[in-house]
Structure 1
Amino acid sequence: MAGNSQRRGAMRKSGTKKGMVVGSGGQRRKGLEGKGPTPRAEDRPSHPAARRAKKAEKASAPRRGAPGKPGAAETVAGRNAVVEALRAHVPVKALYVAERIDSDDRVREVLKIATERGLPLLEAPRSELDRVTGGAVHQGLALALPPYEYAEPADLVEAAHEAGELPLVVALDGVTDPRNLGAVVRSAAAFGAHGVVVPERRSAGMTAGAWKTSAGAAARVPVARATNLARTLRAYQDAGLFVVGLDSAGRTDLVDAEVLDRPLCLVVGSEASGMSRIVTDTCDLVVRIPIVSSVESLNAGVAAGVALYEITRVRGGQAPR
């Protein structure tokens, strides 16, 4: 019956291949169905933009041996550097020795130390050492170091309370030289501080250089990483610590500060720029170390040592632990 769309065969089921669809311009119905939004150029594997993005991602990825990043492994390459690291008892994951290496006093000392300490020793072709060290000049010797395990900032205060001692924490702001960090850790150990806090960004990390400068103190003094240093300092204030910044622009001499016998967080800035504005504003007190005018500033390691000595003296001449 004409006009009866309900009769059998009057309507073609979708998806059938029989004949063309009227008004479709010769295209099949399936060709008219939407396929979703067009992918971004970076998401199309064959597109030049995708290749550029992949190349940039690979270039920005932390390469093996990159220091200072949380959880990143590090390698020490070269005979002198390996000897010095082993003498400083830097933690070692593995010792790489090139096949048919030309032996000298340094190689013999390295092998002797590795044998005495039972270090994993891997003999490898020089091409493997090139890969492990990222192409650095290794002279046939390289150390693979395990990633440093940073503490949490709150752990340092908890350790002091558990020991029944006045908390003493050192925080570094903008200190990017690992040797300065190592020197601060060494001073912290000498004067009984409960740990050192460093920011995650724009700060030195516990690399082999920091370990060597600490002269073994890094094995005894924990180093914590703070996602946001100013926020960490405010958390310390909430926990009852008095935050004292050390800066040449401070209005109070260190020896005149009347808070050194309290639970304390000492903040030390970089030699070049001191503390950042937001960290300075967070401090309860900013003090200075009096120095002669011909010397503009002390580096972070020396300044921290002087301040920690004065804190220990005020607290009765004995380290807090």
Structure 2
Amino acid sequence: MEETQSLTIEGRNAVLEAFRSGKTIDKLFLLDGCMDGPIRTIQREAKKHDTIISYVTKERLDQISETGKHQGVIAYAAAYTYASIDDMLQKAKDAGEDPFLIFLDNVEDPHNLGAIIRTANLAGAHGVVIPKRRAVGLTATVAKASAGAINYTPVAKVTNLSQTIETLKQEGMWFVCADMGGSTMYDLNLTGPIGLVMGNEGSGVSDLVKKHCDFVASIPMKGDIDSLNVSVATGVLTYEIVRQRLLKK
């Protein structure tokens, strides 16, 4: 079932991508007197879409900003519509590709979620799946960190990750989760219909979710510290999946 969440979009690139992707913007706040190139481009898009424009002071923008990094532009979107997993599977089918989904087990930092959505988009993943509880949702900070990818890559919220994984396994998907104790990612066959499961910033993938995965993959590390940031680790594993898919063609 789809659900909506109002969304404040901040930053020049994020607002421009929102307009260009067809998202409904109810109101646009621009820094009064600022008329450089990027702002003029956003202004043109807003007029094209009959969006209400308010020219306000920097103090007013700072007051309504959620991120503190508005770059002189803030937009109020009518709503953000969460996708369903069926939407993601259909997207893969329409592209003639095996499904490739990224599951996040209680990722809490909005910058990490935004970066992962951005990576998912560039790597050709068909969607990102997040749990409804104990995890960050689609906030303004997430939208900005995704650099506009949030408008193109579907994000689904599910009540229970483990149950969702089991349902998809019955439909032919395989699941690999990231953990330092797993097999080196280069030794695993990560082709075919796959779900990549990444864990919480501090504790990783929970034992409950991990036991539902078919493989556990580790990233080879040679340094003096023991782990990568979750968004970086997601990028590394995602592109190993991309590499294996390209070799299989």
Q: Which has the higher contact order (CA 8 A, sep 6+)?
A: 2
TM-aligned CA deviation for residue 113 of structure 1: 1.7
Counterpart-to-counterpart distance in 1, 2:187 and 2:72: 55
CA gap of 1:104–1:181, structure 2 versus 1, over 3 A, is same
| Superimposed CA distance per residue, residues 100-152 of structure 1 (whole angstroms, 9 cap, x where no aligned partner) | x753457x9546522344251244899xx79x949998999642123211111
Counterpart-to-counterpart distance in 2, 1:170 and 1:189: 11
CA contact under 8 A between 1:114 and 1:121: conserved in structure 2? no
CA gap of 1:317–1:75, structure 2 versus 1, over 3 A, is same
CA gap of 1:146–1:273, structure 2 versus 1, over 3 A, is farther
What residue number does 1:256 align with?
187
| SS of equivalent to 1:316 | helix
Query: How many residue pairs are counted as aligned between the two chains?
Result: 237
Q: Report whether the alignment pairs 1:316 with 2:246.
A: yes
- Unaligned ranges ≥5, structure 1: 1-69
| SS of equivalent to 1:231 | helix
What residue number does 2:127 align with?
195
Amino acid at match of 2:43: A
CA gap of 1:174–1:283, structure 2 versus 1, over 3 A, is same
Counterpart-to-counterpart distance in 2, 1:249 and 1:304: 16
Q: Report whether the alignment pairs 1:160 with 2:160.
A: no
> Which shows bigger deviation, 274-283 or 202-211?
202-211
Counterpart-to-counterpart distance in 2, 1:189 and 1:93: 26
CA contact under 8 A between 1:178 and 1:207: conserved in structure 2? yes
CA contact under 8 A between 2:13 and 2:147: conserved in structure 1? no
CA contact under 8 A between 1:153 and 1:232: conserved in structure 2? no
Counterpart-to-counterpart distance in 2, 1:113 and 1:239: 43
- Which has the larger strand fraction? 2
Counterpart-to-counterpart distance in 2, 1:134 and 1:82: 10
What residue number does 1:73 align with?
6
Amino acid at match of 1:212: K
CA contact under 8 A between 1:200 and 1:226: conserved in structure 2? yes
Q: Give the superposed CA RMSD.
A: 3.2
What residue number does 1:301 align with?
231
1:115 to 27, 41, 44: 44
What residue number does 1:213 align with?
145
Q: Report whether the alignment pairs 1:229 with 2:161.
A: yes
| Superimposed CA distance per residue, residues 49-71 of structure 1 (whole angstroms, 9 cap, x where no aligned partner) | xxxxxxxxxxxxxxxxxxxxx52
| SS of equivalent to 1:176 | coil
| SS of equivalent to 1:291 | coil
CA contact under 8 A between 1:189 and 1:221: conserved in structure 2? yes
2:218 to 288, 311, 317: 288
| Superimposed CA distance per residue, residues 248-297 of structure 1 (whole angstroms, 9 cap, x where no aligned partner) | 232x1111113x11211110112211011211111111111111251221
CA contact under 8 A between 1:271 and 1:297: conserved in structure 2? no
> Which shows bigger deviation, 157-166 or 304-313?
157-166
| Superimposed CA distance per residue, residues 229-253 of structure 1 (whole angstroms, 9 cap, x where no aligned partner) | 1111111111110111112232x11
Who wins on radius of gyration, i.e. which is larger? 1
Counterpart-to-counterpart distance in 2, 1:309 and 1:298: 15
CA contact under 8 A between 1:196 and 1:224: conserved in structure 2? yes
TM-score, normalised via structure 2 length: 0.80
Q: Report whether the alignment pairs 1:246 with 2:178.
A: yes
Equivalences for residues 88-127 of structure 1 within 5 A: 89=18, 91=23, 92-96=25-29, 103-104=33-34, 110=39, 113-118=42-47, 120-123=51-54
Counterpart-to-counterpart distance in 2, 1:139 and 1:189: 24
Counterpart-to-counterpart distance in 2, 1:249 and 1:102: 55
What residue number does 2:136 align with?
204
What residue number does 1:25 align with?
none
- Unaligned ranges ≥5, structure 2: none
